[in-house]
Structure 1
Amino acid sequence: MNDTASAMKLKALLTEELEKRFPDNLDVSRFELENEWRHHFEHGDQELADALLEDEALLSKFTDAFLENINHLSTASSITLELEQMLMGICTEMSEA
């Protein structure tokens, strides 16, 4: 799977989860997803996208954390900080495995 295809597949999965979990707040959630997507995946983090798609447990953990952050944090800057910390943790776990 090429980089663009894996990243787009991952984005589609996250968007689907947003629609299921936050139907009343979907516009805000989609806005935050787009912001974070650009920040983390449009700038070369394709290796993480590939790894998430190959490991169902890791994808589930990532999706839960991603969506919890979007749902509970009030500002884009705090969401970005939390997601950066979460992504660093996931990358650390992947490198230790």
Structure 2
Amino acid sequence: MSRRRRNAESGPAATNAAVFGEVLRHFREAAGLTQEELSNKIPCDRSQVARVEAGTRVPQESFAKQCDELLRTGGAAAAMGADRLVPGGAASGLVRAAGGDGCEGPRCP
């Protein structure tokens, strides 16, 4: 059985994946987690988190939901799941739309 890879190399998927990656990195850093720590909690390989954050891998919906629960994104990650990514949007606008600055981790004021 072959596994189909879902990469975002060009076109709208690339833009969507880049926006999701930017939002994911924001929430992960706000939670005070490294890529390795987040990958251990999901669980997945650290390189998958790195590729999603870099915008070169379109996240599966299950990955987005796990990130939403672990990082307490207020629904931002799940709302941006693989089939619902917003083309060309700014990550900062999505973070604000999700209910604030997303800062709920140990490093937040």
Greater helix proportion: 1
Please say whether Structure 1 and Structure 2 have the same fold, judged by a TM-score greater than 0.5. Answer: no
Category of TM-score, reference length = shorter chain: 0.3 to 0.5
User: TM-score normalised to the size of structure 1?
Assistant: 0.34
Greater RCO (CA < 8 Å, at least 6 residues apart): 2
User: TM-score normalised to the size of structure 2?
Assistant: 0.32
